[in-house]
């Protein structure tokens, strides 16, 4: 992906869109410092435009494994800038689940599922939350509507158990 981005940059010039694509690619390669610098550059050049929300989302995903407080700040801002982006809402809801803010997570995940009923990650995160909350009836309704197979439901129930038993790092 980076080679294609470099070629596009050579042909079309440097743009915020290309920097955002490169930041995402470098994040997936665990090149965290380079990724963060690129996201920050997009924020500087795009102000509060549509790319700013995507850059904040990327920063939230970048920070989530190491600093949930910082991740939540970025994901909340991304959601504010792009309130109809189901992926952002789903990732924010998942981060909120990790810090045991289940009622806030439910709002974000339900919103994500409503915005994009075909978004598998959002649906699965909401199913996990229903199991964490002991709301098996809602989980069964959603699973039936989405035609989720029993083996996937069993895996999601297992993930829900980890939220019930593992104490996450504190977040602000």
pLDDT tens string 72-114: 999 999 999 999 999 999 999 999 999 999 999 999 999 999 9
How confident is residue 50, by pLDDT bands cut at 50, 70 and 90?
A: confident
Residues in Cβ contact with 91 at an 8 Å cutoff, skipping those fewer than 6 apart: 57, 60, 61, 64, 75
Spatial separation of the C-alpha atoms in residues 61 and 172, rounded to whole Å: 17
Average pLDDT over residues 123-146: 96
How confident is residue 162, by pLDDT bands cut at 50, 70 and 90?
A: confident
Residue pLDDT, tens place only, 8-24 = 999 999 999 999 999 99
């Amino acid at each position: 992906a980076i080679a294609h981005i470099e070629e596009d940059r050579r042909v079309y010039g440097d743009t915020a869109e290309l920097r955002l694509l490169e930041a995402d690619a470098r994040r997936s390669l665990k090149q965290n410092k380079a990724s963060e610098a690129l996201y920050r550059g997009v924020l500087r050049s795009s102000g509060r435009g549509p790319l700013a929300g995507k850059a904040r989302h990327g920063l939230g995903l970048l920070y989530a494994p190491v600093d949930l407080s910082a991740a939540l700040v970025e994901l909340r801002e991304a959601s504010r800038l792009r309130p109809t982006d189901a992926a952002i809402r789903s990732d924010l809801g998942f981060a909120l689940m990790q810090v045991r803010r289940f009622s806030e997570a439910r709002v974000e995940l339900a919103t994500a599922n409503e915005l994009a009923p075909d978004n598998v990650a959002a649906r699965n995160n909401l199913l996990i939350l229903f199991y964490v909350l002991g709301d098996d009836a809602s989980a069964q309704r959603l699973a039936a509507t989405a035609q989720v197979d029993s083996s996937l439901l069993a895996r999601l129930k297992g993930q829900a158990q980890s939220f019930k038993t593992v104490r996450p790092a504190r977040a602000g």
